[in-house]
Amino acid sequence: MYMSSLFTAEERRFAEAVALINTTNPFLPERVEGERAALGAGFVAAGAEWNKLPPAEASHPNHLRLTERAAAVLEQVRARWPRDGRVAKAEATNYEELAGFWLYQTYALRFDAVIRTELSENGGAGGMRVEFYPAFKADVDRLLTLPGLALLDTQPAPHLFACAFQIRRAFHHIFRSLAGGSAPMARLRAAIWQSVFTHDLKRYRRVLHTSMGDFATLITGPSGTGKELVARAIALSRYLPFDPRRGGFTDDFSTAAFFPLNLSALSPTLIESELFGHRRGAFTGALADREGWMETCPAAGSVFLDEIGDVETGIQVKLLRVLQSRTFQRLGDTETRTFKGKIIAATNRDLAAEIRAGRFREDFYYRLCSDLIQTPSLRDQLDDSPDELPVLVGYVSTRLLGAGEGSAFARETVDWIGKNLGADYAWPGNFRELEQCMRNLLVRGSYRPAALGVGAGEDWNTLLAGGRLTAEEVLRRYTRQVHAQVGTVEETARRLDLDRRTVKARL
């Protein structure tokens, strides 16, 4: 018989609640409920909303309380630990979960400092020494070197360190680069988190951390809703192994890991050359051999294919090959090369319709969509939570003007929008339009919402009847009006019988 008195009933309840917290998506309300369950009467409600995080420099009082309690329980349980290691598996697992939680919380703020320094001073150049690894390793040895534990889920210290660092980076990139606290935005953050760690963090830590690059991610959503930000957040949150001998992470973790390419802006030859590289003489102007991004991108990096719905079928076939076998060739070359990174793609097109119309290959679509993320429109966010407007305006305002001046300008902006556009304004250009509106207000003191075809106080019909618009203005306004109605560049182009580039230019 195994001993079963390692934990008191109260300690076991606490450990089980912490185990749930460890695996709950931090961007879902369940996470805070887990904290409430673990702390009981000690839970601090203020500032514990699931869609808000404390500033980087501080931990929420609940986290501090949970960490303190975890330390105390770990201490007690270790004192009772049997020398022969005969411990019931469930109890050993509870102990490991508590230890994992304590380690993560204890080092979280130090990881945050590394992220800030690395991003601001080093531009993410990687290889930076992390001075506190020896302390982390000593804590891992102290907590997890117990008879009977090695048989369980216990993982080596460098891997635990790498996972904790990855979780902090994911927090940083997912939370801080995307503004907004509405339920649709919270769902988006939760979906990004899942895209990075899957829904099962334990399995991820055991095996999947090295193979997430094999899963392509497809981001869909209307124009201006932050699809590129989502792609960047996923790319910059990937697993980076820690090398204990060097005392640093093996790869870059900032800009160098993200290779974006807008497929609608380039000709097919240029796209191929940018992605796959070329051999000298492969086409006019190919003066020297060139490495493409598929080749440059390291294993921990991601190539972002923006506007994937616009790419012609010949390139779709080549990309399909990359997704299926990770192989490609430079233009004009026969040598087969290997892609090591991850593919992230985005589009605002309706790909199902594109497949029906024969413009998008079905086999390519199915390789792309193993992980699908949808970005919500600004209107959906405001419908869910009208109080979001001041929050988002405040975010943009601070970025434009800094904290002090920014808050005054934010108030003026919210007032102006209320009076001139109204609470129901559709925001057809989404977040990008909000940014544009605010820049206009800053420079000119007013904003003309082009998509409606009217400026504040002006009526499109009056302008037309009075013959006050140039032909180009009529076309531009009409294009924007149709775009506001149909939502995508492609559909607008179809309705107006124009090519996409002309529509884009008018928008």
Q: Applying CB under 6 A, does 178 fall inside the site for ligand ATP? A: yes
Which of 31, 209, 227, 483 touches ligand ATP (CB under 6 A)? 227
The answer to the question of residue 348 lying near ligand ATP (CB under 6 A) is yes
Scanning 237-279, the segments in alpha helix (DSSP H) are 268-276
Residue 306 host element (H or E): strand 302-306
What separation in angstroms does the CA of 21 have from each of 36, 97, 230? Answer: 10, 10, 24
Listed ranges 35-43, 172-180, 197-205, 365-373: which one lies at the site for ligand ATP (CB under 6 A): 172-180
Which one of 105, 225, 397, 413 is in contact with ligand ATP (CB under 6 A)? 225
Angstrom distances, CA of residue 281 to CA of 286, 290, 330: 5, 11, 12
The minimum distance between CB 343 and ligand ATP, in angstroms, equals 16
Nearer to ligand ATP, 30 or 435 (CB): 435
DSSP string, 60-74: -HHHHHHHHHHHHHH
Whole-angstrom Cα distance, residue 58 to residue 129?
A: 23
Determine if 226 is a binding residue for ligand ATP (CB under 6 A).
yes
Q: In what order do the strands lie in the sheet with 217-220?
A: 258-262, 302-306, 342-347, 217-220, 371-374
Q: Which is nearer to ligand ATP, 163 or 178 (CB)?
A: 178
Question: Using the rule CB under 6 A, is 379 a contact of ligand ATP?
Answer: no
Instruction: Pick between residue 178 and residue 322 the one whose CB is nearest to ligand ATP.
Output: 178
* The one among 228, 289, 350, 412 contacting ligand ATP by CB under 6 A: 228
> Distance between CA atoms of 34 and 20, rounded to whole angstroms?
7
Please name the helix (run of DSSP H) or strand (run of DSSP E) that holds residue 356, with its range, or none.
helix 351-356
Give the separation between CA 209 and CA 92, rounded to whole angstroms: 24
- Which span sits near ligand ATP by CB under 6 A: 79-87, 173-181, 245-253, 268-276? 173-181
242 binds ligand ATP (CB under 6 A): no
Distance of closest approach, residue 346 Cβ to ligand ATP, in angstroms: 6
105 binds ligand ATP (CB under 6 A): no
Applying CB under 6 A, among 229, 315, 331, 368 the residue interacting with ligand ATP is: 229
Q: Is 224 in the site for ligand ATP (CB under 6 A)?
A: yes
Q: Is 435 in the site for ligand ATP (CB under 6 A)?
A: yes
Least distance to ligand ATP, CB of residue 180, Å: 5
Q: Does 412 bind ligand ATP (CB under 6 A)?
A: no
* Residue 302 makes contact with ligand ATP by CB under 6 A: no
Q: Which is nearer to ligand ATP, 349 or 367 (CB)?
A: 349
Among 432, 476, 494, 495, binds ligand ATP (CB under 6 A): 432
**355: burial class by Cβ within 10 Å (0-12, 13-18, 19+)?**
middle
Asked if residue 428 binds ligand ATP (CB under 6 A), the reply is: no
How far apart CA 337 and CA 330 sit, in angstroms, is: 8
Q: What is the DSSP letter of 365?
A: H
* Residue from the set 223, 254, 316, 397 that interacts with ligand ATP by CB under 6 A: 223
488 interacts with ligand ATP by CB under 6 A: no
Q: What is the DSSP letter of 239?
A: -
CA separation (Å) from 103 to 16, 100, 206? 17, 5, 17
481, 452 Cβ separation under 8 angstroms = yes
Verify binding: residue 21, ligand ATP, rule CB under 6 A: no
Options 82-90, 225-233, 296-304, 439-447: segment touching ligand ATP (CB under 6 A): 225-233
Question: Do 204 and 197 contact (CB within 8 A), yes or no?
Answer: yes
Residues that contact ligand ATP, how many (by CB under 6 A):
18
What's the CA gap between 460 and 76, in Å, rounded? Answer: 75
Interface ranges with ligand ATP (CB under 6 A): 178-180, 221, 223-229, 306, 346, 348, 375, 431-432, 435
